[in-house]
Structure 1
Amino acid sequence: MIYFSGLVVCLLVLTAEAKSGSGSKAFCADAQQCLVYNVTCNTDDYEVRSYESVKVAATIVKASTLEKAQMIGYSRLLAYFNGSNDMGVCMDPVAPALVRVPHKKDSDYFIQLALPSEYQGEPPIPNDDLVFFIQSIPATYYIRGYHGKKTGENDQKESKSLSHDLDSAGASYIKEYHVSAIYNKPGPEGNMYNEVAFLVMGEPVCED
């Protein structure tokens, strides 16, 4: 776990390198750099992946819906990546964009974008005090992907479905929140590739 201002923040972590990991290349067609990961196993209902540590730009948003949190949080982070920093440089964030979605009402959304590999060591300082850096920790996740528009309704439907399947499999995982990932820019029909993920506790369950 990572602690920030008294808030327990467990991140879906990334390896910010200009290459793709197993299964990620097709998802990252719109990105200059994309996460890489190791696949532990696959079942009919989910994939188990492990991620390494990386530095991310992040912000915390209090909002009533995922849509509002994304709009506010991504605007802050994209302003930083588009030059609102002490060096005035523009950077391509590493895909995917991530949101820690709380399962308790009136809780904070934690939104992050990984820094590109060339700025992992000494990134430019954000002009906005609400944008900060965190070095994430290695972790393993249960993950399910789906296509469509990233809405709170779709995200909740997919996360509940994944949670049900994990419970049926006897998996142990963090249930207080899930992580929502967006890989693609919205197309004409909003047909983005998205993922929902739960943090694995103990040994992952790899059998149906």
Structure 2
Amino acid sequence: MLKAVGQVLFSSGLQHPTFTPVEAKASDYEVRTYHDTKWVSTSLSGMQWDEAMSTGFRRLFSYIQGNNQNKVKVEMTAPVSCRVDPGPGPACETQFTVSFYIPEEHQASPPEPSDPQVFVEHRKEFAAYVRTYGGFSNEKMKREELQKLMVSLQRDGAPYRDDPYYAAGYDSPFKLTNRKNEVWLLKKEVQE
């Protein structure tokens, strides 16, 4: 019980996906290679990033609370990631994919979701540029931090993909200080 309360209040002790840090050219972002992993995900279409995150989080939280084929509870992990695939125009719907990393003990055989809107996603190894920032993140902050990351990458001549892009949050809404948020842009491979 104390461990669970501590995790909610301080977000400590949560499992994270493994990655290998790569030396960056600057101090305002990191380069990481994320290893091959499985995530539980849900996709939504809409116009509002924060609304999609909230709806997606609720679906995935239900899954880890036992709404899965095995009826097993799955430990909370960090971060909660949101892949954003922008629509073709300014007034077009965006595709949001909200995901929880599946803990190590379930990586080989994740419980199958009961909700048809939830699925297990196998993410192949990928490289990302990562910018970290604090505070209670919202849609405006995510967009500003993504813009800052793009400016830094352009400054350094680092090849990146414009879309999709990701936001990642590491903390419970009850954690008040030392909050950790990230935005990720995928590294563009030379052959792309």
Specify the TM-score bucket, using the shorter chain as the normaliser: 0.7 to 0.9
Distance 1:56 1:202 in 2: 23
Distance 2:55 2:11 in 1: 25
Q: Which residue of 1 is the match for residue 129 of structure 2?
A: 142
Distance 1:79 1:147 in 2: 27
Q: Which residue of 1 is the match for residue 33 of structure 2?
A: 50
Distance 2:13 2:69 in 1: 24
- Count of residue pairs brought into register by the alignment: 176
Distance 1:202 1:89 in 2: 39
Paired AA for residue 135 in structure 1: H
Maintained 8 Å contact 1:83/1:90: yes
**Measured at CA, do residues 31 and 59 of structure 1 come closer, stay the same or move farther in structure 2, by a change above 3 Å?**
farther
For 1:175, which of 148, 162, 165 is the aligned residue?
162
Q: Which residue of 1 is the match for residue 148 of structure 2?
A: 161
Maintained 8 Å contact 2:17/2:37: no
State the shift of 1:176 in Å.
2.1
Q: Which residue of 2 is the match for residue 40 of structure 1?
A: 22
Q: Which residue of 2 is the match for residue 196 of structure 1?
A: 183
Question: Kindly, what percent of the aligned residue pairs are identical?
Answer: 27
Distance 2:104 2:130 in 1: 24
The question of 1:85 aligning with 2:72 is answered no
Distance 1:159 1:79 in 2: 30
Paired AA for residue 30 in structure 1: S
For 1:124, which of 94, 111, 127 is the aligned residue?
111
| Consecutive unaligned residues in structure 1, runs of 5 or more | 1-27, 204-208
RMSD value, Cα: 1.8
State the shift of 1:31 in Å.
4.2
Paired AA for residue 58 in structure 2: S
Maintained 8 Å contact 1:158/1:196: yes
Distance 2:37 2:28 in 1: 28
TM-score w.r.t. structure 2 length?
Answer: 0.85
Q: Which has the higher helix share?
A: 2
Maintained 8 Å contact 1:57/1:114: yes
State the shift of 1:143 in Å.
0.5
